[in-house]
Amino acid sequence: MAETFDVVVLGVGGIGSAACLHLARGGARVLGLEQFSLVHDRGSSHGESRIIRQAYFEHPDYVPLLLRTYDHWRDLERATNQTLFHQTGLILSGRGDSETIVGARLSATLHGLTLESLSPEAAHARWPAFRFPLDHTVEFEPAAGTLRVEACVQAHVDEARRHGADLRDHETVRDWNSNGNTVVVRTDSNEYHAKSLVITAGAWASRCVADLGVPLNVLRKFVAWFPIRSGEYRVSQGTPTYFFEQPHGTFYGFPSLDGQTIKVAEHSGGQVVSDPATVDRTRHDSDTERLNEFVAAHLTGIEPVPVRHSVCLYTVSPDQHFVVDLHPRWPNVAVACGFSGHGFKFAPVMGEVLADLIKHGRTSLPIRFLGLSRFTPG
């Protein structure tokens, strides 16, 4: 006999776990389904750390959502009595006409955010561990920092369960259908009925919302940890996160959370993945060449040879902005996908948005620019 819930959430990663919490906290009977373990390394919400920032160079319309998500992260820390966010600040380095610098300054100006401008020489004097190209401008955002990604997902999972959500792992969804009033979700072992459905399937989203006609590319992203030889990169020493835009690519990294290594990755590039279930997770020389060059050129006192690695998946929309909306045919189905490698920091506010869409059919939060209508011709 099929089990019945108010809402089924398909995918309990970074966004899905937050959606489960906000829905359950609002009184809904929630079922969250995850094909892997509830905190896993097969998708997009793993790898120790994520950057969180407010002066968003991708688009100033994200800033109100960011301010809201900051509140949620702090609330989650208080609720779980743990540190999830290290406010170490963020270094942005790029040419004066680069997307990173121009976009961050625009968001800061429009929303009254704090950015501190430095010359490459002044930035190096302040943070001697970093080398900055002489043709770069450096902006420092003190409100930014680092999220502990697995701890964040686990905190959302724990709080969702505390509020009554039923979260089940190692259960793969085979298909779903809706008539506008109810949905049926079939997994490899069960069938569930619900009033509503939330799809937060990450790299598997294309299979779940193929009828939307939104092309989503899944990219394989290699991430590496390099050994440190001194304490100057440790988060306890106030080392900032950092993001460098260069003509040949964009690179970012974090302070050391374990006191032994630092994480560095390339935001640009990546290989298109045909099947996220069979992505190559081994390390190849081609994975490390550009990272090694970046580390050797810009980070002092570090041997440019990684000691461990991980593979993350970016699910990229055509314009690299998120896709968050109600299904155009089924108003009881909400979709959140295409987070394009910069979405994790928004997890709790996306959870609030999805709960609003399911409960009220709308949200007061400014997500119109993320809607499906932008992909409709004319």
In which residue are the tokens 């209508």 written?
Answer: 373
| Integer Cα distance of 326 and 336 in angstroms | 9
Place 378 in a pLDDT band, splitting at 50, 70 and 90: low
Query: How far apart, in Å, do the first and last CA atoms of the chain sit?
Result: 46
pTM (two decimals): 0.97
Ordered DSSP codes for 182-234:
-EEEEESS-EEEEEEEEE--GGGHHHHSGGG----EEEEEEEEEEEBSSGGGB
Does position 243 have pLDDT exceeding 70, yes or no?
yes
**Is the confidence at residue 231, as pLDDT, over 80?**
no
> What gap in Å lies between CA 129 and CA 208, rounded to an integer?
45
- Among the listed residues 283, 234, 286, 238, the one whose alpha carbon sits nearest the alpha carbon of residue 263: 234
Strand 261-266 to strand 191-199: parallel, antiparallel, or no bridges (unpaired)? unpaired
Torsional class of 112: left (φ above 0), alpha (ψ -120 to 50), beta (otherwise): left
Enumerate the β-bridge partners of residue 314.
219
DSSP 8-state assignment for residue 236: G
Q: Among candidates 309, 342, 2, 357, which has minimal Cα distance to 144?
A: 342
- What is the pLDDT, as a whole number, of residue 78? 98
Q: Other C-beta atoms within 10 Å of 84: how many?
A: 19
Q: What pLDDT is stored for residue 376 in this prediction? A: 85
Domains delineated in the chain: 3-45+150-213+319-375 (3.50.50.60), 87-146+217-316 (3.30.9.10)
- pLDDT, tens digit, 9 for 90 and up, residues 278-314: 999 999 999 999 999 999 999 999 989 999 999 999 9
| Residue of 118, 125, 157, 162 whose CA lies nearest to 140 | 118
Strands 183-187 and 30-33 turn out to be: unpaired
pLDDT in tens, 3-59: 999 999 999 999 999 999 999 999 999 999 999 999 999 999 999 999 999 999 999
Q: What is the pLDDT of residue 106?
A: 98
**Sign of the four-CA dihedral 285, 289, 291, 297:** positive
Of the pLDDT bands very low, low, confident and very high (cuts 50, 70, 90), residue 232 is: confident
What DSSP line would sit under 311-374, residue for residue? EEEEEE-TTSS-EEEE-SS-TTEEEEE--TTS-GGGHHHHHHHHHHHHHHS--SSS-GGGSGGG
Average pLDDT over residues 239-253: 97
Taking residue 158's Cβ as centre, other Cβ atoms within 10 Å add up to 18
Residue that is written with structure tokens 């969702």 in the block: 160
